[in-house]
Amino acid sequence: MSIIDQFSQVRVLCLGDVMLDRFISGAARRISPESPVPVLSVSSSTAIAGGSANVAQNIASLGGRCTLIGVIGKDACGAELMQILEATSGVQPLFVTAADRPTTEKIRFVAQGQHMLRSDREATAPVPADVEAAILSHVSVSLPDHDVVVLSDYAKGVLTPTLIREVLALAAGRGVPVIVDPKSSDLARYDGATLVTPNLHEIWLATGISGESDDSAVSAGRKVLERTSIGAVLVTRSEKGMTLVQRAAEPVHIPAVAREVADVVGAGDTVIAALALVVGTGAALDEAAYIANAAAGVAVGKRGTATVSRAELLTELDRQSRTVATSSSMKMVSPAAAAAQVEAWKLHGLSVGFTNGCFDILHVGHVGIIEFARAHCDRLVVALNSDESVARLKGPSRPVNSESDRAQVISAIGAVDLVVIFDEDTPAQLIEEIEPDVLVKGTDYEVSEIVGATSVMARGGRVLRFELVPGHSTTQVISRITSDSRC
């Protein structure tokens, strides 16, 4: 079952600042005679669940189930928001009513698709102790039935330091991952969270580092990890994509997919919803980030506070999967990133092939097996032994070419779609992670001797052997070069 298919089994507990987003639209064709301001001729007014309520709706639209805990006022806006959410399949609102606070309402005035003005009705002081206690009670009762927790912090006073600390402790006690969309420059207040997702402005406030370039995003993420006990940081960088920084893994840079941007309102809610669902399936953070990036690409193409459906996400993943990387550098990815891309390809019925080797000095035999493998699948992953792995297998004089050089050369072959470097002596672990449909090796191996063959065939995959080109091997090439050099 694919990751997206598993969304229907994921239960997300979302806690944060709920709000009502109202869009008043019309045409502005004249200036007021009373003062130099445009006059909006109103044609429509639409109310949509916003803030953490939009996160909940995105979770539901993507196929998951969400229990939403938040605070509303004893007012018409609160009643309207409750009505919207109760009509949303997959969302269960558990609201605490605070009589002395208004329901947060953002009113956007829009003319010809452009925002003219926004007015906010809200209270941002921390909620009182009795409301805090009621929220925590809801969390305590609900948590055992959920797979992941989302803290959607819009700095409206619901997520107090005490409440955050208590929720993180409860989640840690049950081994439930917690994902945070922060709005505070003090990211240490989320200590113990599995993942935080600051944007460029938020990461700059937190670290003093811009995060705009790949290197600075990594530096900012690492600074957060050094200062806190947060597990990982995903820096969301608008048109530059995302950067995932983890404690025990190499940073992952995920480029944004080029498309027309209609509106960025609510895109962060879509990201956190997709992240929660993928993490809730038990998948790795790399995979969650790739899928969330695709969901964000859909969201920014819509106007207003938008949700992304499961069908739209599948379509976007399909669109990305059929755009094969042409740049060598884009083909070279980490094992986790490769697994995420393979998952995306498989979602749409594309078969994935796999072959591996040292590929130290590229020769016609290497090209032959790569082309043979690609002829039997829709996408091909080529795995290279790292320099340390080659030295253990071939001796201290090998490899002749470094792993980065070898990866660049293999990436330049048109039949290759992804290149992955692995450190182990065999690709057994990598094959388990990627789960290819087709495994290809040379005829110098019997099927019973091919690493990964048993697991591939157990999943219904195929193991194919390529007839080696006589007289062509790296050892023979090196021998001829050595012999010629002595003449």
Instruction: State the catalytic residues.
Output: 269
How far, CA to CA in Å, does 409 sit from each of 36, 338, 359, 384, 388?
63, 18, 9, 11, 19
The stretches of 23-100 forming alpha helices (DSSP H) are 52-61, 76-86
Tell me which residue has tokens 């021998």: 479
- Torsion angle (degrees, nearest 10) of CA 162, 168, 172, 175: 150
CA-based nearest residue to 369, from 468, 455, 277, 459: 468
Cβ-based neighbours of 112, under 8 Å, separated by 6 or more = 27, 28
125 phi/psi in degrees, rounded to 5: -65, 150
What is the residue-wise DSSP string for 398-409? --SS-HHHHHHH
Cβ-based neighbours of 484, under 8 Å, separated by 6 or more = none
CA-based nearest residue to 151, from 51, 282, 77, 244: 51
Encoding tokens for residue 49? 């669940």
Return the sign of the alpha-carbon dihedral for residues 304, 84, 76, 94.
negative
Return the sign of the alpha-carbon dihedral for residues 138, 139, 145, 150.
positive
- Cα 288 to Cα 292: distance, rounded to the nearest angstrom: 6
312 phi/psi in degrees, rounded to 5: -65, -40
Cβ-based neighbours of 221, under 8 Å, separated by 6 or more = 203, 233, 235, 243, 244, 245, 251
